[in-house]
Structure 1
Amino acid sequence: MLTKEERKKIRRQNRAEAQKEQTEKIRLGLIAPPEPKVKMANLMRVLGTDAVQDPTKVEAHVRAQMAKRQKAHEETNAARKLTPEQRKEKKVKKLQEDTSNGVKVAVYGVADLRDPAKKFKIETNAKQLYMTGLIVAFKDCNCVVVEGGPKQQKKFKRLMLHRIKWGESSKRNKNVEDDDDESDEDDSGTNKINKYCQLVWEGEVTQRAFSDVRFKSCPTEAFAREQFRRHSVEHYWNLVYSNTILQASGMDTI
């Protein structure tokens, strides 16, 4: 891969070569020389005495030439412009990554996933990035597993650990959570619910375990574990569940 300076140098050399070739053709009489590029700023310098003899005629000629150049520029841009289908295909091609040599997997543990806005952000962003995975909600142990390429994982990781403010609540869910927080406070007045999102594990596997992104709300721990067992990735749930137990007991995770 060439550096930025090397690409600029090659482009400069190609332009100089093309200009040299055009100059040789003009010198040999094969093509007519281009008319001088006249603007209102260089009118007197380019045309000289002609501009003094009939200023009105010269100004009209210059403005017509400027309009002609502008029209040619707009037509070139319109011919190069992509159709809506081509733009969509380009965007999809940019987001999708080749995972034939390996799939990057990230497992996140979330303490509180009751906010509908946060659930929507996670699921929607995973689908927009063309990732696959599973989102399981179970009380204070919520597991988010996503599969994709390195760039997709980088964007999703920023969403989970930086963009989403886990300690904040949406307006429509704030009143409900305030009531829950009051009931979850101990005698000292501190909130027992620990709102956090933690990257429990990330690595690479040979193939995907999921075909799309799905959200599952599980009433029991056994039902949540079954969602992963169906795809032969029960160890993902074990990681998050054991990490949640360590968090609850106040121990540091390994």
Structure 2
Amino acid sequence: KLSAEQRREKKTKRTTEDTTNGVHASVYRVLLLDDPAKRFKIETNCKQLHMTGCVVLCKDINIIVVEGGPKQQKKFRRLMLHRIKWSSSSKNHMEDDGNDEQNKEKNKCVLLWQGTVKERSFGEIKFKSCPTENFAREHFRRHGVEHYWDIGHNDSVLDASTD
């Protein structure tokens, strides 16, 4: 029988994956990410899956970048695209603004890009609030992945023009 320490090690080893041949990265875009319950789910699942990345919160666009192994990405993708109900909001976080309510109804998560990169660009998952798009792009530039912002921003502009 395994000791408590050995069980913990075994569980950690099972969830962390070998990323010597490259790290799988995914970029998601969400219109509204002001619900604390949804932020908590994203952060907690990243930590439990031993993933790295960042969430950039900017006006009208939120970009989520996560890095990890293929199994971790599969579980996180399922969370983002199926398990979280983006159009609903928590009961404690109701707003009276009608326009905000309309945006919540069409709120959705879109997987913009997924692929393999040579090495991790981010540390533990962090939420970064950026007042302007230039600050957000600069945040990605500091980590050497400003093209993630370009992908998300260009897609959001195209999406807005089709509405």
1:1-254 equivalent positions in 2, closer than 5 A: 80=1, 82-174=2-94, 176=95, 179-180=96-97, 182-184=98-100, 191-192=102-103, 194-250=106-162
Q: State the TM-score, normalizing by the size of structure 2.
A: 0.94
- Over the matched positions of the two proteins, sequence identity in percent amounts to 59
The code of the aligned residue for 1:210 comes to F
Max Rg structure: 1
Stretches of structure 2 that go unaligned for 5 or more consecutive residues are none
Q: By how many angstroms is 1:211 displaced? A: 2.0
Structure 1 counterpart of 2:82, one-letter code: H
Structure 2: how far apart are the matches of 1:131 and 1:163? 18
Between the two structures, name the one with larger relative contact order (CA 8 Å, sep ≥ 6): 2
Letter in 1 for 2:36: P
Pairwise CA distance, 1:212: 1.7
The letter of the residue matching 1:234 is E
Deviation at 1:205, TM superposition (A): 0.9
Q: Name the one with the larger helix percent.
A: 1
Output the amino acid matched with 2:37: A
Q: Distance in 2 between matches of 1:203 and 1:192?
A: 30
With structure 1 as the length reference, what TM-score do the two structures score? 0.61
Mapped partners of 2:155, 2:68: distance in 1: 23
Instruction: State how many pairs are aligned.
Output: 162
Letter in structure 1 aligned against 2:84? I
Gaps of at least 5 residues in structure 1 are: 1-79, 186-190
Runs ≥4 residues deviating over 3 A: none
Higher strand share: 2
